[in-house]
A and B are shown apart, each in its own frame.
Chain A
């Protein structure tokens, strides 16, 4: 390998060769897209046919057309958008309330062994308690309202972000600390130029897992004491046996998860341009 003058991945090349490369890349991309879209469409078609032929029980697995019909109904009555905005407020609220302290405490635990030693037993003791087990207590303390649901989601998010952030700082290669010391970095310099940027990839892993946890907990949190929300809609559909509406909620949850992942990926790319992709 002649690596004296080879940049493995070139960012700013606009010559002819890279244009050709780009064309090939685009073609590969659209091919991949076609390949990937085939299977979901095939499943939908087979599902529809099976439902029409009554080969599957449409009480439990309503045909895609029925789900779509229910979707239009929920959309035009405004129920869907209302559910979405109510749940989004709780998810994002809970995520922020949980992630911000998780990040701050995780960083201090990672950076300062004393704080780590003091807090570790508390975290180790409280982390394994299933967040769902805490729900009844949270409901008694906060009542059946938005705040209670935000707290449930926040607790779930908090631990995941905290643990990943702390691990990100602790597991940083020791050689970076040697370099910082050898080149005269003060403690503050070390935190700002080495520990924090070095922990960013793990912090983002924590945030993504935390977001997944928030989506999981919203359904449980909206089981009791809610009158709207995506999670509420699932339980309401169960009560009135409106299975197509339940499926609509599943799909909305799936889309929410996808959109949040894309947003977090975008932010990650902006903040960590140096990460291997």
Chain B
């Protein structure tokens, strides 16, 4: 039995907008085990991105507790892959990927080794010294993913990183993400509105209700790894899970 890596207890986030109190999500309790890949799926506006931002420490929860097991104090607790346009336009690919390591004041030659490793892994070698405006959307997200993995955090958070990519690039990047993740053994929480993406990537899917977001259901995705997109899409198992989740999600979407 694997150790618990992340534990959320009755996590709630409320915002005060003018005089009204708006609940983004409430009573989220779950346990994520070491090395698991989780997807949070829900209708838009259900608070899944806010939940991720709370986990990232960018927002404070109104209620409840977050526990993230910090094994190695020299490593950061989490690193986030943001939606597009989150790599710095004024840094080249190399310096963007090195950002977290530089902020943690690692030695320059150590930084170089780590950065070169991920540049190579993400197929970015020809673009090492290119600036973001010279890169396509897919390349930018590769940089964003490399930056997060290079930082070597306890858990990785991903906020719809492929939402703005075209279908072909999305599939390609999903496969590359799985490849790099399988070797790293990292715990990942990935927010998406795509059921398809969630099934392909994850071990577990948390489906959220419409606003204010609560846990609607948690699905185990027991499809063997390594996963290949064409095999998965044509498997009856995939169709069953998709149907299950879609029927449940459709209720939420059609309410609103």
Interface residues of A (CB under 8 A from B): 1, 3-9, 11, 173, 175-176, 178-186, 189, 193-194, 197-198, 200, 272-276
Report A204 CB to chain B, min CB distance, Å.
Answer: 13
A182 touches B58 (CB 8 A): yes
B82 touches A178 (CB 8 A): yes
Provide the B133-166 mask, 1 if CB < 8 A to any CB of A, else 0. 1111111000000010001000000000000001
B58 touches A3 (CB 8 A): no
Return the 7 tightest CB-CB contacts between A and B, nearest first. Answer: A3-B136, A183-B100, A197-B90, A274-B131, A184-B103, A182-B80, A274-B90
B99 touches A8 (CB 8 A): no
A interface SS class: loop
Find the A residue at minimum CB distance from B88. A176
| B185 within 8 A of partner (CB) | no
Known: A4-B123, A7-B130, A182-B80. A176 touches B166 (CB 8 A): no
B169 touches A276 (CB 8 A): no
B100 touches A184 (CB 8 A): yes
B103 touches A176 (CB 8 A): no
Known: A182-B79, A183-B103, A198-B90. A3 touches B126 (CB 8 A): no
Report A92 CB to chain B, min CB distance, Å.
Answer: 28
Report A177 CB to chain B, min CB distance, Å.
Answer: 9
Which residue in B56, B87, B103, B130 is a CB contact (below 8 Å) of A185? Answer: B103
Which residue in A1, A8, A194, A273 is a CB contact (below 8 Å) of B166? Answer: A1
| B76 within 8 A of partner (CB) | yes
A173 touches B85 (CB 8 A): yes
Known: A4-B138, A7-B126, A8-B135. A179 touches B172 (CB 8 A): no
The residues of B that contact A173 with a CB separation of less than 8 Å are: 85
Report the Cα distance A5→B131, complex, angstroms: 15
The residues of A that contact B88 with a CB separation of less than 8 Å are: 176, 179, 193-194, 197-198
Report B168 CB to chain A, min CB distance, Å.
Answer: 8
Report the Cα distance A265→B103, complex, angstroms: 32
| B57 within 8 A of partner (CB) | yes
The residues of A that contact B134 with a CB separation of less than 8 Å are: 7-9, 11
| B213 within 8 A of partner (CB) | no
The residues of B that contact A5 with a CB separation of less than 8 Å are: 123, 126
Provide the B73-106 mask, 1 if CB < 8 A to any CB of A, else 0. 0001011101101111111100000011001100
Known: A7-B130, A175-B85. A272 touches B90 (CB 8 A): yes
Report the Cα distance A183→B86, complex, angstroms: 12
B interface SS class: loop
Known: A182-B56, A182-B57. A175 touches B86 (CB 8 A): yes
Which residue in A1, A186, A197 is a CB contact (below 8 Å) of B136? Answer: A1
Which residue in A183, A186, A274 is a CB contact (below 8 Å) of B89? Answer: A274
Report the Cα distance A72→B179, complex, angstroms: 74
Add 17 more A-B contacts to A275-B133, A276-B133 (CB < 8 A): A3-B136, A6-B136, A7-B130, A8-B134, A176-B86, A178-B53, A178-B82, A180-B103, A184-B76, A184-B100, A184-B104, A185-B103, A193-B99, A198-B88, A200-B90, A273-B131, A274-B133
Q: Which of A4, A9, A197 has the most CB of B within 10 A?
A: A4
| B242 within 8 A of partner (CB) | no
Find the A residue at minimum CB distance from B144. A179
Known: A8-B134, A273-B131. A3 touches B169 (CB 8 A): yes
The residues of A that contact B127 with a CB separation of less than 8 Å are: 7
Report the Cα distance A108→B99, complex, angstroms: 24
Mark out the residues of chain B between 26 and 63 whose CB falls within 8 Å of any chain A CB in the assembled complex. 53, 56-58
Find the B residue at minimum CB distance from A273. B131
**Could you jot down 26 A-B contacts, CB within 8 Å?**
A1-B136, A1-B166, A3-B139, A4-B172, A5-B123, A6-B136, A8-B135, A11-B130, A175-B82, A178-B53, A178-B82, A179-B80, A179-B88, A180-B103, A181-B57, A182-B57, A182-B78, A183-B103, A183-B147, A184-B76, A184-B103, A184-B104, A193-B99, A273-B131, A274-B92, A275-B133
Report the Cα distance A3→B140, complex, angstroms: 11
The residues of B that contact A274 with a CB separation of less than 8 Å are: 89-92, 131-133
The residues of A that contact B56 with a CB separation of less than 8 Å are: 182
